[in-house]
């Protein structure tokens, strides 16, 4: 059971399917973290409430359960606590000993410990992840995809890319091809800004 309760305003229980498994979330911020991680680290294993850490503080035995353990596709492990900045500030004195125990546990288990707030989760990258993640496995017109990728690869300077609305596939009927190629990483865009028709897109190297 969770030992650090969520505030009522954020308590939203649900599940998300990943390419590796299914994971649980207990707030909208946790849900968004899972979506962001699943998109930008495809194949990562995300385990909810993976361990309960017992530690001594002020002569008493206490327990702390972090929100997630993320094992990246490359093998790195990160123990993660998700917190709204306002809650983190308000609860810092109580949470600090638990976070120190989590860092010790992470070091002992070949991992690292991170506290992630809405500043690191929400923004254009999350918006892109939510829009693109479902398209990663969506059906794709192979002929239109090949033609679009050929054009992007044959630009005078493919590293600079071209505008989405300059591609032949920018017509409404086939614009979905461009989105699917971006979702699969075959076309590259700047995901730190909102994606639109004036976004520059380039073939993946």
* Distance of alpha carbon 62 from alpha carbon 98, whole angstroms: 8
142 and 73 in one domain? no
For residue 55, the cross-strand partners are 62
The DSSP result for 48-84, as a single string, is ES---EEEEETTEEEEE--SEEEE-TTS-EEEEEE--
94 and 20 in one domain? yes
Beta strands in the chain, from DSSP E residues, in sequence order = 11-17, 22-27, 45-48, 53-57, 60-64, 68-71, 77-82, 111-116, 162-163, 187-188, 200-203
134-159, pLDDT tens digit by residue? 999 999 989 888 888 887 776 545 45
pTM higher than the cut 0.75: yes
138 and 177 in one domain? yes
CA 77 from chain centre, in angstroms, equals: 15
79 and 40 in one domain? yes
Contact status, residue 175 vs residue 195, Cβ threshold 8 Å: no
Domain that holds residue 185: 127-203
13-32, pLDDT tens digit by residue? 666 656 556 677 789 999 99
149 and 61 in one domain? no
User: Angle 146-38-25 (CA atoms, 0-180°, nearest 5)?
Assistant: 145
Structure tokens at 69: 């353990």
80-84, 106-110, 141-145: least confidently modelled range: 141-145
What percent helix, strand, coil does the chain show, rounded to 5?
Answer: 40, 25, 35
175 and 98 in one domain? no
Q: Give the model's pLDDT for residue 175.
A: 79
139 and 54 in one domain? no
134 and 111 in one domain? no
183 and 165 in one domain? yes
Whether residue 1 is contained in a domain is answered as no
């Amino acid at each position: 059971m969770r030992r650090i309760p969520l505030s009522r305003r954020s308590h939203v229980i649900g599940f998300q399917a990943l390419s590796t498994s299914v994971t649980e979330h207990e707030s909208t911020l946790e849900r968004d973290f899972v979506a962001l991680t699943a998109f930008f680290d495809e194949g990562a294993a995300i385990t909810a409430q993976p361990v309960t850490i017992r530690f001594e503080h002020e002569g008493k035995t206490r327990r702390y359960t972090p929100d997630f353990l993320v094992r990246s596709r490359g093998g790195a492990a990160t123990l993660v606590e998700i917190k709204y900045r306002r809650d983190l500030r308000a609860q810092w004195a109580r949470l600090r000993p638990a976070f120190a125990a989590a860092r010790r546990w992470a070091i002992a288990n070949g991992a690292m410990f991170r506290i992630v707030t809405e500043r690191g989760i929400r923004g254009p990258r999350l918006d892109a992840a939510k829009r693109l993640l479902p398209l990663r496995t969506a059906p794709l017109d192979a002929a239109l995809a090949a033609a679009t990728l050929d054009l992007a690869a044959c630009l005078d300077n493919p590293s600079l890319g071209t505008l989405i609305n300059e591609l032949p596939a920018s017509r409404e009927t086939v614009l979905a091809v461009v989105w699917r190629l971006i979702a699969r990483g075959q076309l590259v865009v700047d995901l730190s800004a909102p994606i639109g028709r004036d976004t520059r897109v380039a073939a993946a190297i």
